[in-house]
Structure 1
């Protein structure tokens, strides 16, 4: 489902700065607080003034990023620094956000193709292609886009997520190990001493750049670009290069700085398109000036907004097309009223506050980012998917366990994609012999090589379908450039919308789901709050004229 945010690699060679020391309670201020690391965002031309303000407040500058305009400052009085007119925002550099998208198990019999016979192979596809209703919905099939365009290894697709299992047999052929990076250091415990990521598996608590201990990022990468190789599933763009831009810790939490670093790195090495199935926390909605927030809380949210805006602007200016999941709360993002889940890190600090449309979920609501809503196998908007006339740009299949009437049952209504074996074992989803214990997991073997696949649902699963189609477009029309091919993100966006299948609001516009929940779809057929410009279409994108 919709993950939250995380990443690595900085402009300067400085140590990863996350989770250092105990985090102060939100809004608390005390001269006796321990010093912690803050990201101090300054106005244009205000770097020197911001540094003087930091030093005057007793802070020490640890590093800086001149491209995105911020200092890394170790200080104990962020409010004093934030009071200086040269400073735009001050954000604690800490884990923020949590990956969602846990699989939903079905009561049906577990599926194990290694033990129960071979799966029916779709002609021209892979053994599990017949289970990929999502690919059929968008025309990513042997008779559709695969016949015309499968992407190009020159197209670099960045996956900003919890990591990518680069050794997975259905990922490895397209995995770009040379460019992949891990921008985070795992944290065994949180600030309260409770287990967070657990024991470190690697030196310095930093996993290699081909590891995913959560499973979310691998699932996303598989939907984008699993190869057609006679094993498992096929991705939307089965011939592209997948670049792991890991921003998430093992527990699925994200840092603001690593997220910015990932976007900056993607821009600098020539990545063409990135998938961002997360939101940056600890605030579900970031408000620049909410009357109910303390000075420190407002400074933190302004820092997140400013930092992400700058990172997005930098990446887009360097040719990176950015795709984001819209969110999984079933909310009209154009009419938010309350936020009761923020700040969600560390746990126990949440408060209920009144908000309005000036408060933003990022990166989904930022200019320059394409936001994706989710539909189930019948094509209806999934009840969990956020929406909004201003916020929804395009729709894609993301799964819906409760979408009946299609002949599919239980977990098969969700999205099937690659899963790391180590995660399946850690979560108890397979037994000691490797046999799946739930229908949400499939083991598929071919020529002595076995791999695992998992059903999941969420806008996190919808976004990579759009990312894959964007990669097809860049493969067709991109020009030689840094890293491989390059294409103006504005042109990619235009073609994504032009080739989408128009989809108007349901009748009546107020749609009632089986749970009794109602959601109102507003806007015309050409651009509405449920489906944006329509349902993404790989087949049309593979054949459209520029």
Structure 2
């Protein structure tokens, strides 16, 4: 599969008029649309031809109400009770409309539009326990007690890099994920709560009554920034920039600032509109780096014209590709370096296997689709300007779960691989995974911790670790593995590069660096790693079926397992670059 360098506007224009017409293809699953029992929210993508006012008029004529606009991306969030709104809104100037699962009121969603992002002050009755970072400077020099367990830090030589460059607090890294637990001892001083935003509202149940996020924890079903009920975002954040404070763990870039720009539900789903809103916001406030999710629900691969999909589903996927690429372009122009995990489906993105997971929402709506690698795209990883990261184990071999392929993989990073080291004492050890910070709220909600903070047997099986200081203050960590654990190592390295080489503005409050220059430094300083011998890797020895077999294409300088090499934070901040 190729990086999407082309705009799909023309294709959208051709098909949008037919998008809602015609029967579902044979064997296709239902589109998953809820009965129109009340207002339904839509992401309406406008053409880039200047017919803005006519497009808004068409939305109103189709019995739609404009909730807000995102002029940076050329889209409108609208709602309508008309069952045929998506058909009627297709006119010159409008490329199409796709149901916004995160905003639609039917089927249990709370129906709140958080396009501007919820702040801490917006959540009634919530007061953060941890301090907000307001220009504080972390003295990040030494290593923390649990860092001895972080083989990933050593693989990317972040331990040596901090002797030269621990990270500048003026460099800000956004995390588009499930949130960041800003009360965690290793994160509290590094998270800028004032700049953080939440772009999602909890969805208690889906259209079929299946529990999604469950009962709402806060008034209005909106969690505050600095809160994480899923745990994934907190784990990512700790690898990037947990503080070097003499306790727990530290991150690759312990001196930089983290910004929580949440776009993921408590249950782990990431839908299109919150993702677009979070990425636009991150670009507008001048973030230097944004760590992205691998894909956007409900499509693992977005296919413009897959015959297994209905016309409505095809249009939705076209809109996703075009809208995400617009958002990536916008962030890139604003100076944001974009990092994404390559994915965890043990798939060659250049020659993908059939997709049996999509659509991922609502529950039980997936069906099998053949995937054309030339036209289908996993977004945002295959979008423009995104640095894709594969997942490696301690032996530097590709982890069994990690996707791979050219040209999507640009760097390899430590993602964890529990079953690495077959035939050695380290085989199947949890220490082969990645240890990082974890949200207490998430662990308690999943039954991994008791309300008093003790690890349960289930929590122990899930890799939970508890670390307490002499004063009795305890924080929580977890062993885990995925390419989502590899990408933060690269995001942290990117933050170090900007800290080292970035341009300081006259007022001294910001540092900036062209994303193309950041990419150049990361790729040229990476430690080259050739394909294994033999190139076809089998994971049968650890019980994996032939579907996990992976063939490494390319050369020592650029291949489908390692891209341009394993990210090297120390080389990145110490070498001269042309």
- TM-score of the superposition, structure 2-length normalised? 0.82
Partner residue of 1:77 out of 67, 76, 84: 84
Query: Is the contact made by 1:78 and 1:296 (CA closer than 8 Å) also made in structure 2?
Result: no
RMSD, matched Cα: 2.1
Q: Deviations over 1:493-513 (max 9, x none)?
A: 000001110011111111111
1:425 aligns with 2:444: yes
- Within the candidate set 54, 59, 69, 1:54 is matched to 59
TM-aligned CA deviation for residue 27 of structure 1: 4.0
Residue in 2 aligned with 1:43? 47
Instruction: Classify 1:294/1:433 alpha carbon distance in 2 versus 1 (closer, same or farther; 3 Å).
Output: closer
Structure 2 residue 145 is the aligned partner of structure 1 residue 127: yes
Aligned residues: 494
The answer to whether residue 532 in structure 2 is matched with residue 506 in structure 1 is yes
> Is this contact kept in 2: 1:89–1:303, CA < 8 A?
yes
Q: Shift of residue 363 of structure 1?
A: 0.5
Aligned: 1:210 with 2:226 = yes
Q: Select between 381-390 and 28-37 the one with higher mean Cα deviation.
A: 28-37
- 1:324 corresponds to 2:340: yes
Q: Say whether the 8 Å CA contact 2:304–2:314 is kept in structure 1.
A: yes
Matched, 1:488 2:488: no
Structure 2 unaligned regions, length at least 5: 1-28, 104-140
Task: Give the Cα–Cα distance (whole angstroms) in 2 for the partners of residues 165 and 83 of structure 1.
Answer: 42
Task: Give the Å deviation of 1:399.
Answer: 0.3
Q: Does 1:140 align with 2:147?
A: no
Superposition deviation, residue 61 in structure 1:
2.4
Offset of residue 52 of structure 1: 3.5
Instruction: Work out whether residues 89 and 301 of structure 1, in 8 Å CA contact, stay in contact via their aligned partners in 2.
Output: no
* Aligned equivalents of 2:303, 2:550: Cα separation in 1: 24
Q: Distance in 2 between matches of 1:275 and 1:199?
A: 28
Local SS of the residue matching 1:443: strand
Partner of 1:457: 481
**Structure 1 residue aligned with 2:276:** 260
1:209 Cα deviation from its structure 2 partner: 0.6
Q: Tell me which residue corresponds to 2:24.
A: none
Structure having the higher strand fraction is 1
Q: Name the SS for the 1:48 alignment partner.
A: helix
Shift of 1:183: 1.1
Partner of 1:14: none
- 2:201/2:221 contact within 8 Å kept: yes
Residue 245 of structure 1: SS of its match in structure 2? strand
Pick 1 or 2: higher relative contact order, CA cutoff 8 A, min separation 6: 1
Matched, 1:385 2:412: no
1:432 Cα deviation from its structure 2 partner = 5.3
Mapping 1:394-473, distance limit 5 Å: 394-404=411-421, 407-408=425-426, 409-431=428-450, 433-436=452-455, 437=457, 438=460, 440-448=463-471, 449-473=473-497
Q: Which moved more, 1:377-386 or 1:63-72?
A: 63-72
Farther-moved stretch of structure 1 (297-306 vs 156-165): 297-306
Q: Residues 342-386 of structure 1: CA distance to partner in whole angstroms, max 9, x if unpaired?
A: 111001211212220111001000111111100001000011111
1:420 shift after superposition: 1.5
TM-score (norm 1): 0.86
Match of 1:89 among 83, 96, 99: 96
Q: What's the offset of the Cα at 1:268?
A: 0.9
